[in-house]
Structure formats: C-alpha cells, structure tokens
Amino acid sequence: MVSTATQIGSFTFDNCLMNAAGVYCMTKEELLKIEQSQAGSFVTKTGTLTARQGNPEPRYADTNLGSINSMGLPNHGFHYYLDFLSELAKHKDSKSHFLSVVGMSPAETKTILKTIMASDYDGLVELNLSCPNVPGKPQIAYDFDTTDQLLESIFSDYTKPLGIKLPPYFDIVHFDQAAAIFNKYPLTFVNCVNSIGNGLVIDDEQVIIKPKNGFGGIGGDYIKPTALANVHAFYQRLKPSIQIIGTGGVKTGRDAFEHILCGASMVQIGTALHQEGPAIFERVTTELKTIMIQKGYQRLEDFRGQLKYMA
C-alpha cells in the first residue's frame, strides 16, 4: 500500500533513497552493490576528464557525529562511469542512474558534457559544482558570476537532463541570488547539499586526516539542519520544473521524512552509508514507510514540501 516511489524529470524510481556521490561509487563493484540493494538508484563518484589519484591518505575519517573527508576527487575518469552506465542500461529492468561529473576547468566541463551529449547515455547527469577539497580550486557554486556563465555556456548546446550538486549556503540573500540564477536555466534538479567545506576535526592534539593540514568536508549529523534549510530554501524559490534532491545527515527514516517534508523528491545517504553499508537502504526504507503509515500517508506526494510553520 505505502510507496516510497518517486520521479526526477521523466525518470521514475521505485524508491526515493540512494547513495550520495562519493560514497560506495568509486568502482563498478561498489556501484553494483548499490544496484542490488533496496536503493532506488545510484550516483557515480564524480568523474573528471582524466582519472585522478586524489589527495594523500588518510583522507576520510568517521567521527561520533559524522565524517570529515578530503578525498581530492579521486576517480577513474568520467569515461569509466559513462561506459558502465551505458552497459547497465542495456539490461531490461535496469534502474535509472545519475552520472556525476565535473571538469577541472570550464573548458574541461564543456568537453565532458559534449562527450555525454554525443554518447548513447540517456540517463541523468549531476554536475558537481561544490567539491571543497581540491587545493587551489574553489567551490564553483560559491562564485555566482562563474556559475551563471558556466550554466549559460552549458545550456547553449546541452539538451540532455542535467542537475547540479550545490554546496550549502548560509545566508538568505545567497539563497535568493543563487535561485535567481538557477531559475534562468532548464535544470532538471538541484541537489542540496554537498559536505560543509573545510571543517577541522581534532583528536587529542592532532588533526585526523592528512591533506590540507586536516581541513575537510563535514558530513553526517552535524549537517542535517543546514541540509534541511537548503532543501527548503530552494524548494520555496525554484520554479516547479526544477526538483530538489535532499542530501545531508540522513541515517534514519525520520531524517528522510524531514528532507521530503522540506521538499526533496529524492534523498541521498552519504556518511551513514559509509558507516553501515548498503543494507542501510532496507532499514531506512522500512523506517520511512512506518512513519508514513502512522501518519496516513501513502505516497511521498502526500507530504512533500508540506512543512508546517508557526502561526
């Protein structure tokens, strides 16, 4: 009776839960484990024009309240993920997927998207505008002029379904300014949020990851209020054709419920998936369905975006 099925653009998914880019998605083997789990889809590790080693290890650490990482965009190159997704799509009953990509420059991003455009891949693409961990490369979506120019250039010739992964914003004026830019373009979705960039976690007297003297992206419990605020702020501001994917601090059905209440159409799990493994999708789905049954909701549409305010 109760369903957690959802849609992003013209794509349908049996379950709204999936991995967040960066977790369980570096190799085909990891991606197949998500494919075979209760997750409704998967997103690949962000692929660049050519493969990258990333930053020195240790570069990911779990903490009591979440995680810190400075992976530095290690990946097998976007062709590896594009070829794998095109291969998977040949099997009937295959789920729809998300290919995450970004170039190390606007020109590289254009080259990647041109290749995807010319390929037979017809799934979703998530352009990562928010990696916090490549030394010397700022998080693109904190620079509104650069972001506007990049999106204008992309949509002058790219016509396949495309969304963007955003960093968290922390000011109402920034929500307004960012949404005004995104509303100019035929984006299929925005994904809120990437990790909170450049936090610092200390154990005894020492940092706990090696790159950047310990600075790294923060995920997990720390970031749920920020993630929910970003999901809801963009849900309130974006044109209805741009859907929201909610990411940040999801480890229970209640967390997923709150993201959907704030307006999310799909919900991604990062830190908690890293800690618990792909079986987390079955647990969180069951917990979400239990809440829906208690409240008399049969579908996500019955409560999506229906956050209540005080009088």
Q: Which member of 16, 25, 131, 262 is catalytic?
A: 131
Least distance CB 5 / ligand RRO (angstroms): 27
Q: Pick from 199, 214, 217, 220: which binds ligand RRO (CB under 6 A)?
A: 217
**Nearer residue to ligand RRO within complex by CB, 60 or 158:** 60
Q: Pick from 4, 15, 38, 46: which binds ligand RRO (CB under 6 A)?
A: 46
Least distance CB 92 / ligand RRO (angstroms): 32
211 binds ligand RRO (CB under 6 A): no
40 binds ligand RRO (CB under 6 A): no
The token duo for 175 is 């929500």
- Rounded CA separation 235/213 (Å): 36
Count of residues in contact with ligand RRO, rule CB under 6 A: 15
- Complete DSSP assignment for the chain: -----EEETTEEES-SEEEPTTSS-SSHHHHHHHHTSS-SB-BPPPB-SS-B--SPSS-EEEETTEEEE-----BS-HHHHHHHHHHHTTSTTPPP-EEEE--SSHHHHHHHHHHHHHSS--SEEEEE-----STT---GGG-HHHHHHHHHHHHTT--S-EEEEE-----HHHHHHHHHHHTTS--SEEEE--PEEEEE-EETTEESS-GGGGEEEEEEGGGHHHHHHHHHHHHHHS-TTSEEEEESS--SHHHHHHHHHTTEEEEEE-HHHHHH-TTHHHHHHHHHHHHHHHHT--SGGGTTT-PPPP-
**Binding residues for ligand RRO restricted to 58-117, rule: CB under 6 A:** 69-73
- Any catalytic annotation for residue 262? no
The token duo for 209 is 């990851």
Least distance CB 45 / ligand RRO (angstroms): 8
**Nearer residue to ligand RRO within complex by CB, 38 or 128:** 128
**Nearer residue to ligand RRO within complex by CB, 60 or 281:** 60
**Binding residues for ligand RRO restricted to 246-285, rule: CB under 6 A:** none
190 binds ligand RRO (CB under 6 A): no
226 binds ligand RRO (CB under 6 A): no
Q: Pick from 133, 188, 243, 268: which binds ligand RRO (CB under 6 A)?
A: 133
Q: Pick from 38, 41, 109, 195: which binds ligand RRO (CB under 6 A)?
A: 195
Q: Pick from 41, 128, 226, 268: which binds ligand RRO (CB under 6 A)?
A: 128
Contacting residues toward ligand RRO, per CB under 6 A: 22, 46, 69-73, 128, 130-133, 194-195, 217
